[in-house]
Structures are given as C-alpha cells and as structure tokens.
Amino acid sequence: MERPILASMDIDAMRHNLTRIRELAPQTQVWSVIKANAYGHGFAAALKGLALTDGFALLDIQDARYLRENGWKGPILLLEGLFSADDLKLAFMLDCTLVVHTESQVAALETFDLTQHQAKPRPIYLKMNTGMNRLGFSPSDYRLMYHRLHAAGYAMHHMTHFANADRVDCLPSVGSQYDLFNEAITDLPGDTSTANSGAILWHRTVLGEWVRPGIMLYGASPSGSFADIAHANLKPVMRLSSEIISIQVVKKGEKVGYGGRFTAPEEMRIGIVACGYADGYPRSASDGTPVWVADGGDTSNGVICPLAGQVSMDMLTIDLRAAPLAKIGSKVELWGKHIPVDDVAQSAGTIGYELLCALAPRVPIQLVV
C-alpha cells in the first residue's frame, strides 16, 4: 500500500473563489496568478478550477508552453518578463504578454524584428516601481520607456505592485503608491493593473482594469491571518491529509521525538502521523500547532489534536488526549477545511503562501471535482 499522505485539490472551491473575486471586483478582468506551480496546487488544478479566468499570470515560459499544450487559448502574462533575449521568439510564438521592468528588456524588444511575428500589436505591461523597490522603472524614467516601446510598435499597458495591501501600519501605503502611479501615467493610453489579493479584499478603490489575485484564489489570507478573511467567503482549495500509522503510550515525564521537545504531563497516547518536513509540513511548527484527527471511524467527527514534539522528515507526533477513539489508520488533516493553512503557518512563524508553495513533489495530488 502507498504511504497515506495526499494533497487533494477542491476544484469547486477554486471556481468559487474566482467567482468571489468577480463579485468583489466586478468592473475588472482577472489575471489569475499561478506562479510557483499554482501556489503548490499544480497547473492541472488551475486549468480546471480557473477555466473561466480572463488570463493567467506566471513566471516561466515553459509553464506558458504547458498551458498552451493543454488547451489554454486566452492571455498569459509573464510577470517578470524575459530572463534572456533569446526567449523573445518563443514568448511571442506562445502569444505571451510580457511585463517589462528593465532597460535591457526594452532594448531587446526594440531590436526584435516584430514584422516576422506581428499578427497584431504585441501587448506589454510596463512596470513602475512606486515604492516597493523590487522590480520596475522609477516614475521619472517610466514615460521615456513607455514612449520607446510604443514607438517600436507595442501595445502598452501599465502595472505596479503594492508592498502593503494587506496591512495598515506599514509604509509605503497603498494610497501613496497608487497616487504616484497615476500621476506618472497621466495621458498615457493603456490598461492598468495594480491589485493583488490584499488590494482586492481591502482597497477596492485602486483596482485598475485588470486585477492580479493569487493567494485568495486558493482560499488563504494575504495577511497570513485566517481571521482577516474569515468573513470574505473564500474556500480553501488544498487539503493536506494523512493517517495515524502508529500510537505510543508514554508515561508522565517521558519525552517525544528529536531533542525531546515535548514532555508528557501525564500518561497519554501519542499519535504518529505519516507527514513530515520532507512533505512540506513546516519543521518550525511549534508544539500546540493544531492537527485535525477523525475520532473513530467517522471522518466528519473530528477533533483538534495538538502537535507534540519536533516535526521530523517523514513523521510528526500529536497529543491524542482529545481523541480517545483514534487508532492506527485514523484520518488526519494537516490543513484544509478544518485547519486553515494560515493557522499552521502562524504556529510556524510564516505565512500560508510559503506552506502551500512548499508542498513537496513526493506528495501525490488528487483533483476533487
């Protein structure tokens, strides 16, 4: 028999989340962001669950090729543009829309012989750095780059990225970035794309023509805190599940696992779950991190059994005192409908994004339709 760990992707939940985005941002078109293997969910799940999106945004041209080979005919946005001028031909063959953020990309596009590849003007999203200081042109350089590419025959659009759409106490603020952006593009034609999930949830006056949701498509929180999206009616897509493969009865004072981090406060049962950091469960998760266990045979009748002891490569250990009926073979959910991935992430000092993306290749993926 196979190891019982499984990542199931709820395709209906993905569809539902896209619908929620359309309700929140009704005047916009949606670039569904599926970088990092669709935040760990797999491109096959994304193609199914997000079939009604207006476009897909990702990083690698090979992934764009996968989408085309699997029937996607709509727009594809390469979020970091070209990594080498050699990719330009392939990018246009695959009918990709490029983000342009450096002068060398502008130069490559200017010298490219468009006449061989020009069914229609090639769309470009020019990226402005409005304060995040990661990718893009300063507002003062932006207009020159815009005019160069426009003169070279490209169809120009505008893009920037918010550093703090999911929080209120950090600078630069969404408002200041948005104002800088709008001032710099005054009178320049083209669509605008500014909003990530945080902006769609919490700053709906700055959405532009095309929004770029990522994390909310997968039902997790941009802020890293599930409480912040509890009322947004998003549904978790990924369920990481496994089973109890062994049970130890430990006496009061006995230690559990590497480093003996957990000490039994009384005689108790410890459940050994077939899931470890080599599956993508965070090793940094602290004792007390919630794990859901089906108590008895009924998979709907679950209880929370806290992590007890250091996560190891292939296993983790849980405190079974709340689940007297749990036995070898009992179902366990590490995250999903019962345990928000954001809660596990918080216990591990990170955000849901990182856990979802880090789902290990050795974990089988099942699409639930």
Ligand X SMILES: *Cc1c(COP(=O)(O)O)cnc(C)c1O
- Applying CB under 6 A, the residues found at the interface with ligand X are 33, 35, 79, 161, 196-198, 212-215, 222
Residue closer to ligand X by CB (options 129, 197) is 197
Indicate the SS3 state at residue 353: helix
Cα separation, 218 vs 273, whole angstroms = 25
Whether residue 35 lies in the annotated active site:
yes
Residue closer to ligand X by CB (options 222, 290) is 222
Closest separation in Å from C-beta 303 to ligand X: 32
The pair of structure tokens assigned to 25 is: 């941002």
Residue closer to ligand X by CB (options 220, 240) is 220
Closest separation in Å from C-beta 41 to ligand X: 12
Residue closer to ligand X by CB (options 36, 273) is 36
Amino acid at 108: A
Closest separation in Å from C-beta 263 to ligand X: 39
Preceding omega of 172 cis (within 30 degrees of 0): yes
Q: How many CB atoms lie within 10 A of CB 249?
A: 11
Residue closer to ligand X by CB (options 78, 307) is 78
Query: Which among 35, 235, 327, 337 is annotated as catalytic?
Result: 35
Closest separation in Å from C-beta 99 to ligand X: 8
**Which residue has the closest beta carbon to ligand X?**
214
Query: Which among 89, 252, 255, 258 is annotated as catalytic?
Result: 258
Closest separation in Å from C-beta 139 to ligand X: 17
Indicate the SS3 state at residue 220: coil
Cα separation, 83 vs 101, whole angstroms = 11
20 backbone dihedrals φ, ψ, rounded to 5°: -60, -40
* Beta-bridge partners for 157: 125
24 backbone dihedrals φ, ψ, rounded to 5°: -75, -30
The pair of structure tokens assigned to 237 is: 């897509």
Spatial contact of 232 and 221, defined as CB atoms under 8 Å apart: no
Residue closer to ligand X by CB (options 213, 309) is 213
Which one, of 4, 41, 64, 39, lies nearest residue 367 by Cα? 41
Residue closer to ligand X by CB (options 164, 317) is 164
Cα separation, 185 vs 157, whole angstroms = 10
Closest separation in Å from C-beta 213 to ligand X: 5
End-to-end CA distance of the chain: 24
Residue closer to ligand X by CB (options 33, 156) is 33
Amino acid at 213: P
Tell me the CA distances in angstroms from 184 to 107, 108, 138, one per residue in order.
21, 24, 9
Closest separation in Å from C-beta 49 to ligand X: 16
The pair of structure tokens assigned to 190 is: 């083209």
Closest separation in Å from C-beta 31 to ligand X: 8
Whether residue 125 lies in the annotated active site:
no
Q: Is 139 exposed, middle or buried (0-12, 13-18, 19+ CB in 10 A)?
A: middle
The pair of structure tokens assigned to 180 is: 């800088």
Cα separation, 291 vs 304, whole angstroms = 5
Spatial contact of 82 and 108, defined as CB atoms under 8 Å apart: yes
Give the residue numbers marked as catalytic: 35, 258
